[in-house]
Amino acid sequence: MTRQKKIIRNERLGEEYTYVKHPSGLDIYIWKKEGFSTTDAYFGTKYGSINTRFKTKDDEDFVDVPEGIAHFLEHKLFENEDCDVFDLYAKTGANANAYTSFDQTVYLFNCSDKYLESLHILLSFVQKPYFTQETVDKEQGIIGQEIKMCQDSPDREAYIKLLGCLYKNHPVKVDIAGTVESIAKIDADLLYRCYRTFYNLNNMALCVAGNVDVDDILKVCDEELIPCSDMNLETEFPDEPAEVAKKETVKQMAVSTPIFYIGIKCPPKKGKELLKAAVCCDFIMSLLMGQSSDFYNSLMADGLINSQFGTEVFYGDGYFTCICGGESKDPRKVMERIKDEIERVKRDGFDKELFEILKKSKYGVNLKALESSETCTAMMLVAAFLGFEAFDEMECIANTTIDDLKKVFNEHFNTDNMSISIVEPFS
């Protein structure tokens, strides 16, 4: 079998991993870490909850499917005709799991030995779906209960409702699991159709990190991978306006202190442009309202936030948002103060000394993370699906300047494009 092999190396870090384009169509990434005691493997498909509209070479037009089907598929793949997959992993001693996010589904394991045996299991069961209408009907009840339980979580409700404020049409506004109504439309035939579309090896990646042998892993891949033709998969999203859908949403739940999330809707990007914007926005959020900032400490001193307050940069295919949130006795006052701080920084600029401290800190944290096989595996998968290389984020952090931040800040931090979601106590 002919393979395309490439070594991806970073001289600054003194690290490298191997990329292989397998004849089956699968992208394989292997990061050999000498002396590591654990191995992690991620087998992922670029298929998440937002991918509800798609087209392949076999379709005359785009197909629409119910929300929540990617998460439903993840649940069902762990069952095969003979046994539960976890029973197979129990024999190798591996810890196995899976997750579905807004834009990917990943099956994974972590182990201290017998990684090749566990890899056989991983590659085998993900490629062998088994659904019947009876098992689908049963799963609808299970996932329906899961959805209702999630709706009882104040923090999750506040977060999802924020996305509903920010996005008018993009499916990122819908919970990953879908709704009770949407999953009721799923049947076995539809699951098989989505499986054949998105679990095509040309739309997937395998990432392995640890004290492993590249040739041994490729031998397992040769034995297990079932070649498939490229389906010329296209995904599509509804047109999304630049402005937010609405400014505020409020829900009453059983909480003692209001929970809130504030989001700034930013222009979506792709590939290395996305990476650059994400790294810059992460710096900006830390400089604006991170724990080292004067602004954060002023909010704390005024009793407007507590230690639950945090920030994140949330992005993917067609969406990009800077988010902060936590608990507050007056969430709207927090939002007013954030708007004022954004306008102040636009006038006065960033604290250059704090930026240099943060830059060293962020680089150091990421460097330390390379001591984890799990982190290395996740880095390769994220990079593979977003269109860059695993070392690019570290290089981006090292090369970012304060002028880069100013440019992204002026483009992304529009106070007219902010929304707030509040979950407050019953009145």
So which residues are the catalytic ones? 74
Q: 10 Å Cβ neighbour count for 56?
A: 17
According to DSSP, the β-strands at 53-55 and 234-235 are antiparallel
* Residue 74 DSSP label: H
Q: How many CA atoms lie within 13 A of 236 on its CB side?
A: 12
Distance CA 89, CA 117 (A): 9
Contact 282, 245 (CB under 8 A): no
Contact 201, 175 (CB under 8 A): no
Q: How many CA atoms lie within 13 A of 412 on its CB side?
A: 31
* CA distances in angstroms from 133 to 61, 71, 128, 188, listed in the order given: 27, 17, 17, 5
Q: 10 Å Cβ neighbour count for 92?
A: 18
Dihedral angle, C-alpha 23, 124, 18, 387, nearest 10 °: 80
Contact 313, 242 (CB under 8 A): no
Phi, psi of 201 (to 5 degrees): -60, -25
Distance CA 199, CA 20 (A): 19
Q: 10 Å Cβ neighbour count for 251?
A: 14
CA-based R_g, the chain, Å: 23
Distance CA 374, CA 223 (A): 25
Distance CA 323, CA 325 (A): 7
Q: Provide the edge-to-edge strand list for the sheet that holds 319-327.
A: 248-253, 418-425, 259-265, 319-327, 310-316
**Three-class DSSP category at 38:** coil
Length of the chain: 427
The candidate with the shortest Cα–Cα distance to 178, out of 159, 160, 158, 197, is 160
Q: How many CA atoms lie within 13 A of 79 on its CB side?
A: 12
